[in-house]
């Protein structure tokens, strides 16, 4: 069969798992921020007061989304744009795998990424990490093209790709170290200093719109404050967070196949493995040392892991040829069944992860927040326009502001500038504000309560002290021991002094 026909089938699957039930659950906190920025760029005055254009990240994705928002401010449209970047990454992964290890490996790599839980979950959300990985994988492909051809134009293109990676999300800059590690550790790939300088200059020119926009937007102070906060904030997860979450998200078989191939095929190692390992080890090392651990931060390693796994699976144990006695390859049926089983082992956990959470818990970056959109829309319909709300933290506050158009504070936002995100406004004395009538509603949610039980208890004490009356509740269906039930995930109290 032609390669394009196989690839078309893979892309159909990739699209299906990314759009199935895409808008069933509303935005999470990060999604509201990026979608809110896009709406502000598009001229949405309502959201601009809550989500200013210049916050903490480059604006490539938000600006692209703002074009769609000229026609409709839709959750579904925003997520579809992220899906486009995700499916595009599958195509670039095929091209990279084919370039490095042949057509069969390229198709297997694309198929693995198409249903990989890690990549599917993130590219169904309005996050910067999906576009980041598209451009980082494109940069990986361009670097491989340079290594194959040794033509300077591909090194210049690599610099351009790296600039776009940075504009998608500033953390992509760490992959510059991956490129330099590759060039330093692969002596067979020759590079002239002049070409390297030109490539770096092209990268800098493409990156330039971000600092210029921040400077002309009078947001340099906010950017510096955000950077200082990221450096000084406390770790949000333990040191083993990535080691316990990422292998499962990549798929244990993909993870094992990639590592096994590096060992079994070690005699065939070349610059290709150096390139892929540089693309994996540099981000892993950086984000492991970085105090903040985000579920989606290591997504750039998904494509190189899929390619390394495809390298191994394309060389699966083979059958002996009757006449020569040599091992020539598995029968097509056995090979197809094996690969289908591997794909199924990825697809099942993917479907489980993209299904709405019924536990009342939530890992940041892993999906939407059940009940959040509905609670925000209820606020917009029923809460007086000049009312103010107090949520447990900034995550639910963002959701309420995005969907409800009401000012919402986060109880957990520190009054110490060094211990809070500078874009969030703290409330110094919530008890006094309730007594004065400045805060009329309290919003409790199970997602924030699981992360911050002390603040959850404090908010409930306010509700009890000030005669809190439950005016709205959002619940999710749960099943325990075969018994169906409801679990509250968002509760809104009306309080009076």
pLDDT tens, residue order, the chain (497 aa): 788 898 999 999 999 999 998 999 999 999 999 999 999 999 999 999 999 888 768 899 999 999 999 988 899 999 999 999 999 999 999 999 999 999 999 999 999 999 999 999 999 999 999 999 999 999 999 999 999 999 999 999 999 999 999 999 999 999 999 999 999 999 899 999 999 999 999 999 999 988 888 777 666 566 666 666 666 667 777 888 999 999 999 999 999 999 999 998 888 889 999 999 999 999 999 999 888 888 899 999 999 999 999 999 887 655 545 555 554 555 566 666 777 788 888 888 888 888 765 555 555 555 778 899 999 999 999 999 999 999 999 999 999 999 999 999 999 988 776 666 777 888 889 999 999 999 999 999 998 998 889 999 999 999 999 999 999 999 988 766 566 778 899 999 999 88
Residue 342 pLDDT: 82
Cα→Cα distances 268→262, 271, 303, Å:
9, 10, 21
- Please tell me the number of Cα atoms within 13 Å of 459 on its side-chain side: 28
Q: Cβ neighbours of residue 412 under 8 Å, at least 6 residues apart?
A: 392, 393, 394, 448, 452, 455
φ, ψ of residue 239 in degrees (nearest 5): -65, -25
Residue 119 pLDDT: 95
Residue 327 pLDDT: 45
Q: Is 27 in contact with 375 (CB distance < 8 Å)?
A: no
Q: Cβ neighbours of residue 384 under 8 Å, at least 6 residues apart?
A: 440
Cα→Cα distances 362→370, 436, 450, 490, Å:
9, 34, 9, 13
| CA 283 – CA 183 distance, rounded (Å) | 17
| CA 452 – CA 11 distance, rounded (Å) | 41
Q: Are strands 469-480 and 407-410 parallel, antiparallel or unpaired?
A: unpaired
Q: Is 26 in contact with 78 (CB distance < 8 Å)?
A: no
């Amino acid at each position: 069969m032609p390669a394009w026909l196989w690839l078309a089938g893979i892309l159909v699957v990739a699209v299906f798992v990314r759009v199935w039930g895409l808008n069933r659950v509303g935005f999470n906190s990060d999604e509201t921020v990026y979608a809110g920025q896009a709406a502000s760029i598009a001229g949405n005055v309502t959201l601009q007061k809550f989500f200013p254009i210049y916050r903490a990240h480059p604006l490539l994705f938000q600006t692209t989304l703002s074009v769609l928002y000229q026609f409709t401010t839709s959750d579904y449209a925003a997520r579809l744009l992220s899906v486009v970047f995700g499916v595009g990454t599958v195509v670039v992964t095929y091209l990279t795998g084919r370039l490095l290890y042949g057509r069969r490996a390229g198709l297997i790599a694309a198929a693995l990424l198409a249903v990989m839980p890690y990549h599917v979950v993130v590219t169904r959300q309005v996050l910067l990490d999906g576009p980041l990985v598209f451009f980082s994988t494109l940069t990986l492909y361009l670097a491989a093209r340079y290594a194959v051809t040794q033509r300077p134009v591909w090194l210049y293109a690599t610099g351009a790709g790296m600039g776009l990676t940075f504009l998608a999300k500033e953390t992509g800059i760490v992959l510059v170290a991956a490129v330099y590690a590759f060039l330093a550790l692969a002596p067979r790939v020759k590079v002239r200093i002049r070409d390297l300088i030109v490539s770096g200059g092209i990268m800098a020119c493409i990156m330039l719109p971000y600092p210029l926009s921040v400077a002309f937007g009078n947001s340099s102070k906010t950017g510096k404050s955000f950077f200082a906060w990221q450096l000084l904030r406390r770790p949000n997860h333990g040191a083993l967070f990535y080691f316990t979450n990422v292998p499962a998200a990549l798929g244990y078989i993909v993870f094992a196949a990639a590592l096994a191939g590096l060992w079994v095929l070690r005699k065939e190692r070349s610059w290709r493995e150096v390139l892929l390992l540089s693309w994996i080890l540099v981000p892993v090392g950086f984000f492991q040392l970085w105090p903040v651990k985000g579920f989606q931060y290591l997504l750039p390693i998904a494509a190189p892991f899929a390619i390394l796994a495809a390298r191994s699976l394309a060389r699966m144990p083979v059958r002996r040829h009757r006449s020569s006695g040599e091992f020539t390859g598995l029968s097509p049926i056995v090979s197809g069944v094996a690969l289908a089983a591997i794909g199924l082992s990825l697809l099942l956990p993917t479907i489980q992860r993209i299904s709405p959470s019924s536990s009342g818990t939530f890992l940041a970056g892993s999906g939407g927040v059940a009940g959040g959109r509905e609670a925000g829309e209820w606020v917009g319909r029923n809460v007086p326009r000049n009312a103010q709300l107090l949520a447990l933290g900034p995550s639910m506050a963002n959701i309420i502001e995005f969907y409800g158009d009401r000012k919402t504070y986060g109880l957990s936002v520190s009054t110490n500038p060094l211990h809070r995100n500078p874009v969030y406004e703290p409330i110094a004395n919530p008890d006094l504000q309730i007594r004065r009538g400045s805060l009329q509603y309290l919003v409790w949610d199970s997602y924030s309560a699981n992360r911050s039980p002390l603040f959850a208890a404090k908010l409930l004490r306010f509700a009890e002290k000030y005669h809190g009356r439950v005016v709205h509740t959002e619940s999710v269906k749960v099943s325990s021991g075969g018994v169906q039930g409801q679990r509250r995930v968002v509760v809104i109290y009306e309080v009076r002094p």
